[in-house]
A and B are shown apart, each in its own frame.
Chain A
Amino acid sequence: MAVSVAAKARDVVGQNVHKVDGPALVCGKPLFTLDMDVPGALVGKILHSPHAHAMIEAIDTSAAEAIPGVACILHFGNVPRIPHTTAGQGWPEPSPYDTVLFDRKVRYVGDRVAAVAATSEEAADEALRKIRVEYKVLPAVLSVDEALAPGAPVIHDEPDAEGIYDAQRNIAAAVDIPVGDVDRALAESPVTAEATCEIPYLQHTPIEPHCVIAYFDEDGRLVIRTSTQVPFHVRRIVARVLALPMSRIRVVKPRIGGGFGAKQEIILEPVAGALALRTGRPVRIAYTREEEFVASRTRHPMRVTVKLGAGRDGTLRAIDMEALSNTGAYGTHSLTVLSNVGSKTLPLYNKARHLRFHGKAVYTNLPVAGAYRGYGATQGYFALEVAMDILAEKLGLDPLELRQRNHIRVGETSPIFEKIGEGREGKAQIVRSCALPECLRIGAERIGWKRNRGRRRREGPWAYGVGMACAMQGSGITGIDMGAATIVMNEDGSFRLLVGATDLGTGSDTVLAQIAAEALGVSVDKVLVYSSDTDFTPFDVGAYASSTTYVSGLAVLKAAEDVRRQILDVAAAALEEAPEDLELSQGAVRSVRSGRAVTLADVGHRATYVVDQHQIAATASCVAPESPPPFAAFFCEVAVDTETGLVRVERFVAVADCGVAIHPKQAEGQLEGAVVQGIGHALYEEMLFSGRGRCVNPSFFDYKIPSALDVPEVEAILVPSEEPTGPFGAKSIAEVGINGPLPAISNAIYDAVGIRLTRAPFTPERVLSALRSRTG
């Protein structure tokens, strides 16, 4: 639900229109990557390493190649070695170039050894079985502590890698950013608190696993139809890896079955492209669910320590945050996720003058971590918000009040904005919109904070408690993220909106159509959206960093304003009046002076066929001018079975300020979905590994994500603010919601039974063992 405020009168923005791609989706139309049948397509499959760390001594593909139907086998011996990163990020790329398509060395169980293309699944499977690989198994590093130990095996000893912080010590990236003198401030603070929180390997589990089809168009250009969040980065990185001119590649993003960051990675596209180029035939590759777990990407497992220092009045003086991040076998997003742990958390409590954020991202012989919704902030908030709860207790202060005293407000800033950016320095900014005070008030009221907290209500073995947390995120990456949009007017007064922005299920096509429709004075059905085809839509960095509504939305708004001016010019000529006297709304241009009007259909027809014929159209770009943070307050009630350790989330209230919600229902959906993913992180999710680095639970049977019965009806409440730099006052909503559940649930468990859960997930086993060790 949305709390209503006296908002500006708007026709389309703020309306819950049907999703523009909704009718086709609810009817099951063939919209997704693999729903297109490409005649003659070969089946591509990947041979994964069975070892966590090994050198390939020899590879013999002769038996596999002899299988009828096998068209091609690629491996390190027959594919050029081009170091790159699989992270789909802007340029210059902040992640190290430590990956090649096929390497002589394998660095985790699941690493790519070879790829096969064959005429059938069966032939491809048989070929995988018959490729003979001789490995020299190397000692493996299966934890960050082992990786950092003196004399640890070096995971990236290849000479051609670039951009690794310290390859010899297995450190992919490192950050140390001090503001003021944190050690002294902590030492001098009358009250301090500390928490170390840990997040394990977590997988995004989009219901559609990674998949791709590579084929050739009529002109022999390589077309890559792929389930991606970053079509333009796919084109750039595939061009690099396959040494093709970018102009020979077209990337098409159809509908995407969820991504959450996992598809901000270029994993299968270059393999499919290489197989297609080698065979001259179309190739499709679909990851199985098991491969999705093991050989796509995960959240960065992390251990984060937060030390807080405060005055007796509860004003924070110092925050020291240290993160030890496990980037797995490759360093994709290693530096930027690490940076975000601090950059998206520390500004929230800007009353603290002395800050330090430091940390390392470390290589291990485990699956590759990458971008995952929250992008480090989730890990940071877990520790920060648990530490805040501890601090509140030490101060004898209500945790709600502690937040209220310390959070950032409109007109304020934090030095962190300037100090930490996307793998380099950031940009100073002030907060121009912040409804966090309202979010806190409404959320506390809704959960019955004053009434329920500290009550330790019991019902048989069940103990009840409430907990809370706050969070912020950003809206795009300042000065780096660029989105562009083209709007073309049709002769009947409808419009085509072409955007590089990538709707991966979030509903961004609809939001962008609403922004265009609002600016052009038409209903959404008059705006036909085409998104993400590198041949037909203008550039956009893609869907990540909570950027689309804000950055791509601003581009759409600029393009629409340009088109609107062109429309007014044509209408002015038709009406023989001055453009300044004209108003565009409800599909027509009216003169405020004479009251005369022309419809948009008249304008389109006139410009196309009648007088001064020309195409009414505009392209506009937007580089994120700032990154206005959305804010959220989270409140939950949990029940703990004190006899078994089972935790149930009874209620969850998430109150967010995403500026003006362009599509409130979709914004709520983002919040609800993010919270439920966070509940999954808190209660069930964890990839488990054998002593040799093999993931032992790579299936939904074993790796549990929440089902409809595992979560309460999340109460998602939007508290509007007006972000002056955003399109129609909007900022982002996609990620902020996932930062709250881990600390809020941990804090609620503490309220219920007095134990601090600092290692996720909070399994019955961990809860019970903490309960037992407390009672002795």
Chain B
Amino acid sequence: MRLTGVRRFHWARDVEEALSLLDAYHGRGALLAGGVDLGRSARTDLEGLIDIMGIGLSYVREEDGRLRIGTTTTLTEILEHPAARRYLHGALVEVLCRVAVPPLRNMATLGGAVVSAHPWADIPTALVALGAEARWEGEREEHALVEELYRQPFRAVFRRAVLTEIALPPWNGAFAFEKLSRSAGDIALLNAACGVGIQDGKIAWARVAVGATPARAERLTWLEEALQGEAPSDTLWRQVQEEVERRAKVGDDRRASAAWRRSVAGVVVRRAVARAAERAAR
């Protein structure tokens, strides 16, 4: 890798400096966090790189049951952080340890994963399901659910803003993550993150997101609603599988066909929901 157009490298000291540098390049500058995607790219349009690893956004905190993670925190740092490990009995860790491979997790940041938002990526699927909230600073401080963010032209937003924090809400229940890939360390051919809350033996709430379809993760709100009030059972899970297989929005790419994705989408969601319910009932 050598980004040939780059003339300057800056180490920003705080968010404000990062923003003003970004502004000064008029679109020909880029924020550099983990740098995995930028380093893999062959971009020739960039003149300035703005390192944001030193602007104070590497942290993991627990606050009122919420897990707040600074966006330059690496995936390894999150995986090793006791609060992140505790969160939802390891639900976040379950996802992150299946993202890429250790040396890349040492580099990649949570913020980078949210901003890059590869359609096949696992982290967006998990964050959508978990109802994670993103905070960013541009002209002003803003926040939105990650799910909502992805419905906006978010790439344009982050050309002029710094994503600062991802906050994960507490849930009275449990989550599970499923991923199908060709080999270990591979990207997903399909992934699903599901959460379930159980009250009096019935499903009180459900969250279901499916990603790498091959499009980016979307919630299956129809399924979430349908699950409410139902009692977990093998029959229910079979119905989940059949309905998802029938209704899932899937497509082709060179890694897998729509037909296969359709067949397995139901399986993956069923497995994740059933596993989450089992955990929630514990």
Contact = CB atoms under 8 A, between A and B. Distances in A.
Direct contact of A and B (CB under 8 A): yes
A122 interface: yes
B186 interface: yes
A688 B254 contact: yes
Contact of B185 (A125, A644, A709, A764): A709
B182 A768 contact: no
A122 B4 contact: yes
Nearest to B190: A644
Given A121-B2, A122-B4, A643 B184 contact: no
A643 B4 CA distance: 48
Contacts of B186: 704
Interface string B263-282: 11001100000000000000
Contacts of A701: 187
A697 B254 contact: yes
Interface in B173-228: 180, 182-187, 189
B257 interface: yes
Interface residues of B, number: 21
A125 B256 CA distance: 34
B105 to A, nearest CB: 14
Contacts of A644: 180, 263-264, 267-268
Given A644-B264, A769-B259, 12 more contacts: A121-B2, A644-B263, A646-B180, A683-B182, A696-B254, A697-B254, A701-B187, A702-B255, A704-B183, A708-B184, A709-B184, A772-B263
Interface string A741-776: 000000000000000000000011100110010000
Interface string A622-655: 0000000000000000000001111000000000
Given A122-B4, A644-B264, A765 B256 contact: yes
B260 interface: yes
Given A688-B254, A696-B254, A697-B254, A768 B183 contact: no
A707 interface: yes
Q: Which of A709, A765, A769 has the most CB of B within 10 A?
A: A765
B267 A643 contact: yes
A768 B264 contact: yes
A32 interface: no
Nearest to A767: B260
A166 interface: no
Contacts of B254: 688, 696-697, 702
A643 B182 contact: no
A764 B184 CA distance: 14
B260 A765 contact: yes
A769 B260 contact: yes
Nearest to A644: B264
15 contacts: A122-B4, A643-B264, A644-B180, A644-B267, A644-B268, A646-B180, A701-B187, A702-B255, A704-B182, A707-B101, A708-B184, A709-B184, A765-B257, A769-B260, A772-B263
A536 interface: no
A645 B267 CA distance: 11
B36 to A, nearest CB: 12
Contacts of A764: 180, 182, 189, 256, 260, 264
Nearest to A642: B267
Contacts of A160: none
A669 interface: no
A189 B193 CA distance: 57
A147 B185 CA distance: 38
B184 A768 contact: no
B266 to A, nearest CB: 9
Contacts of A645: 260, 264
A721 to B, nearest CB: 36
A594 B248 CA distance: 91
Interface in A193-242: none
A707 B186 CA distance: 10
Contacts of A122: 2, 4
Contacts of A688: 254
B257 to A, nearest CB: 6
A684 interface: yes
B182 A763 contact: yes
Contacts of A697: 254
Nearest to B257: A765
Nearest to A699: B40
B98 to A, nearest CB: 11
Interface in B119-178: none
Contacts of A768: 260, 263-264
Q: Which of B183, B186, B257 has the most CB of A within 10 A?
A: B183
A444 B277 CA distance: 43
Contacts of A704: 182-183, 186
Interface string B1-38: 01010000000000000000000000000000000000
8 tightest A-B contacts by CB? A709-B184, A765-B260, A643-B267, A704-B183, A710-B183, A644-B264, A704-B182, A684-B182
Nearest to B184: A709
A684 B183 contact: yes
Interface string A250-289: 0000000000000000000000000000000000000000
Contacts of B4: 122, 125
Nearest to A763: B182
A21 to B, nearest CB: 26
Contacts of A763: 182
A495 B264 CA distance: 64
Contacts of A706: 183
Contact of A707 (B2, B184, B189, B256): B184
Contacts of B267: 461, 643-644
